[in-house]
């Protein structure tokens, strides 16, 4: 009978291979458990936190990164706390930070392509019959905008002058913003059309007629990332879900049409 000889790796060879094997295992484990924390506003339906659902924007971002094997952990904070947490490295990204807002608050990072867009308009009660042809026409009015809006309001309306006169303020809660308009506590509000229509529907009941003035440019809801590689992966995933239909499907779950 022929004898079969099997070469057993020496302890020295195993010792040499062990660090490489451990590194591979660690890398695979890190990829499998990759999580990013993203800061969102506390609630801006239908984009963020709708009843017991995440909201359109949260689902879009989550789905884009899921296609890259990355898990999103949303964090819902007021604007100032989101900025502070991002500076401290407690958040990997901030939703809806434009280059102008990034510059205003001196935030380090890399802005992405738009997750979606906001169709921002000026809204006033129809019975007021306001004549608003230019942004300058808002100057004497009491205006309430969304939280963080100042950096994105185009020239023509002097925000600092309006603030000094007590005629400009911002609210994170845009349902409260709408109620202020209906109760006559302000003359006009600045809001995304989709947010306005959603909040108006949720309030229900008989409501006063409104006029919308298209004086504001559409605003890209970009995402600010600490890491340029993660930004690229997000953009890759976003492109993928737009191509395969998942992007539009998320809007439709909220009875809305895409604002890409």
Encoding tokens for residue 117? 């867009």
Where is pLDDT greater, at 16 or 104? 104
| pLDDT of res. 136 | 95
Structural domains in the chain, CATH included, are 30-117+220-253 (3.40.190.10), 120-217 (3.40.190.10)
Residue 9, pLDDT score:
52
Q: Using CA atoms, how far apart are residues 158 and 144, in angstroms rounded to an integer?
A: 14
Confidence (pTM): 0.76
The H-assigned helical ranges of 5-158 are 11-32, 56-66, 79-87, 99-104
The residue among 106, 69, 112 whose CA lies nearest residue 228 is 112
High-pLDDT (> 90) share of the chain, %: 69
Mean pLDDT to the nearest integer, 63-84? 95
CA distance 143 to 162: 8
pLDDT confidence bin for 28, thresholds 50/70/90: very low
What does the pLDDT read at residue 26? 42
Q: What are the phi and psi torsion angles at 140 (to 5°)?
A: -80, -5
Among residues 139, 146, 149, 143, the alpha carbon closest in space to that of 188 is found at: 143
pLDDT value of residue 148? 81
Chain segment 121-150, per-residue pLDDT in tens: 999 999 999 999 999 999 999 999 988 888
Q: What pLDDT was estimated at residue 47?
A: 95
pLDDT at 89: 96
| pLDDT of 13 | 54
pLDDT of residue 5: 57
Report the percentage of the chain scoring pLDDT > 70. 87
Which of 250 and 258 is assigned the larger pLDDT?
A: 250
Across 29-38, b (16+ Cβ under 10 Å) vs e yields: eeeeeeebeb
The closest alpha carbon to 216, from 239, 188, 243, belongs to 188
Q: Rounded distance, CA 112 to CA 103, Å?
A: 15
What is the average per-residue pLDDT within 42-57? 90
Residue given tokens 């809204």 in the structure block = 123
- What's the mean per-residue pLDDT of the chain? 88
Say yes or no to pLDDT of 163 above 90: yes
Residue 75 has pLDDT above 70, yes or no: yes
Mean pLDDT, residues 141-167 taken together: 92
Q: Which band of pLDDT confidence, cut at 50, 70 and 90, is reported for residue 2?
A: low
**pLDDT for 19 beyond 80:** no
What pLDDT shows up at residue 154?
Answer: 86
């Amino acid at each position: 009978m022929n004898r079969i000889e099997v070469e057993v790796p020496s302890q020295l060879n195993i010792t040499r291979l062990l660090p490489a094997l451990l590194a591979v295992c660690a890398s695979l484990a890190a990829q499998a458990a990759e999580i990013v924390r993203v800061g969102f506003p506390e609630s801006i339906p239908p984009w963020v936190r709708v009843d017991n659902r995440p909201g359109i924007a949260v689902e879009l971002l989550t789905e884009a990164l899921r296609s890259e094997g990355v898990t999103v952990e949303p964090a819902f904070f007021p604007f100032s706390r989101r900025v502070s947490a991002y500076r401290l490295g407690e958040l990997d990204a901030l939703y809806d930070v434009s280059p102008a807002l990034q510059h205003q608050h001196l935030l380090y990072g890399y802005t992405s392509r738009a997750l979606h867009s906001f169709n921002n308009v000026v809204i006033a009660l129809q019975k007021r019959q306001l004549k608003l042809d230019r942004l300058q026409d808002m100057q004497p009015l009491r205006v309430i905008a969304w939280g963080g809006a100042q950096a994105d309001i185009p020239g023509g309306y002097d925000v600092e002058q309006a603030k000094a006169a007590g005629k400009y303020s911002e609210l994170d809660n845009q349902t409260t913003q709408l109620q202020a308009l209906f109760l006559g506590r302000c003359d006009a509000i600045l809001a995304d059309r989709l947010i306005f229509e959603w909040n108006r529907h949720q309030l229900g009941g008989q409501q006063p007629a409104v006029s919308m003035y298209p004086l504001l440019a559409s605003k890209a809801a970009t995402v600010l990332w600490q890491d340029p590689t993660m930004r690229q992966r997000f953009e890759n995933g976003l492109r993928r879900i737009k191509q395969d239909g998942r992007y539009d499907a998320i809007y439709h779950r909220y009875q809305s049409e895409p604002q890409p």
